[in-house]
Amino acid sequence: MRRYIKKKGTTITGWDNKPTVRPTTFMMSTKFCSLHILKKGNTRWLAREISMVQKEYLDALGLSEDHFIQWLAKFF
């Protein structure tokens, strides 16, 4: 994420919605702790749309929403 921020010359939303150029792993985990994945058969989806901040983090990680859901599904 920090490489993405440096390459793009931008910031990402950090604590208290303040911009940062130094996001941490813990900070990232707090942004995604409220997600709920629904499953029916082999299909998985999020219970509600992800927030703009979560989209911002996924972009910085180089992940699409679908890839993120599939990655999370490995643990559940």
The domain limits of the chain are 2-73
CB atoms within 10 A of CB 38: 11
d(Cα 60, Cα 3) in Å, to the nearest integer?
9
Burial of 65 (0-12, 13-18, 19+ CB in 10 A): middle
pLDDT of 76 reads 67
Residue that the structure tokens 């940062």 belong to: 20
Residue-wise pLDDT for 36-75, tens only, equals 888 888 888 889 999 999 999 999 999 998 888 888 877 7
Dist CA 24 CA 3 (whole Å) = 13
Give Cβ neighbours of residue 71 (< 8 Å, ≥ 6 apart).
Answer: 63
pLDDT at 70: 82
- The predicted model gives 23-48 an average pLDDT of 87
